[in-house]
Amino acid sequence: MVAKEKLTIGLVAKPGGTLNYHTGGWRTFRAVINHEKCIGCKRCADSCPDGAPYECAHDGKKKKFCVDYDYCKGCGICAFECPVDAIDMVKEEK
């Protein structure tokens, strides 16, 4: 049997942080960016509360954005903001 971790007085703990704790697990929908439509305007990244979209490719003319699913919580703001409707909110299968 694995020994249980002991509590500390006042429950003082190691500092928490999202480097280790991936909040994307809360997601019901995932934002999926269609690179055929993406014009690289970066509005998805700018509007995301978590900074999940990031530049991941370049087709020679335009930047393309991808989503970091460790942190995307599926709120849909990026899909709402996208000027060319390149982002689909796809239900997670769990």
Partner 1 sequence: MALMKVIEGSMAVAEAAKACRPAVVSAYPITPQTHIVEDISQMVADGDMPNCEYVRTESEFGAASMIQGAEAAGARSFSATSSQGAVLMYEVLFAIAGLRLPCVMAMANRSVSTPLSIWNDHQDAISARDNGWIQLWAEDTQEAADMIIQAYKIGEDHRVLLPVMVNLDGFLLTHVYEPVELYDQKMVDEFLPPYKPLYALDPKNPVTMGTLAQPEVYTEARYMVHDAQLKAKEVIEEVADDFRKKFGRYSGGLVETYKMEGAEVALIAMGSIIGTMKDAVDEMREEGMPVGVVKVRTYRPFPVEALRAALKDTKAICVIDRSISMGMEGPLFTDLKAGLYAASDAEVLGFVAGLGGRDITIEDFKDMAKKGFSRIKGERVSEMEWYKLDTDILPEGI
List the one residue from 1, 3, 8, 60 that touches partner 1 (CB under 8 A): 8
15 binds partner 1 (CB under 8 A): yes
**Span near partner 1 by CB under 8 A; candidates 6-14, 30-38, 51-59, 61-69:** 6-14
How far apart, in whole angstroms, are the C-alpha atoms of residue 94 and residue 83? 30
**Span near partner 1 by CB under 8 A; candidates 14-22, 31-39, 48-56, 86-94:** 14-22
16 binds partner 1 (CB under 8 A): yes
1 binds partner 1 (CB under 8 A): no
SS3 call for 35: coil
List the one residue from 1, 2, 3, 12 that touches partner 1 (CB under 8 A): 12
How far apart, in whole angstroms, are the C-alpha atoms of residue 50 and residue 22? 11
Assess contact for 86 and 65: CB atoms under 8 A.
no
**Which string of b and e fits 57-85 if b means at least 16 CB within 10 Å?**
eeeeeeebbbbebebbbbbebbbeebeee
Quote the least distance from Cβ 4 to partner 1, whole Å. 10
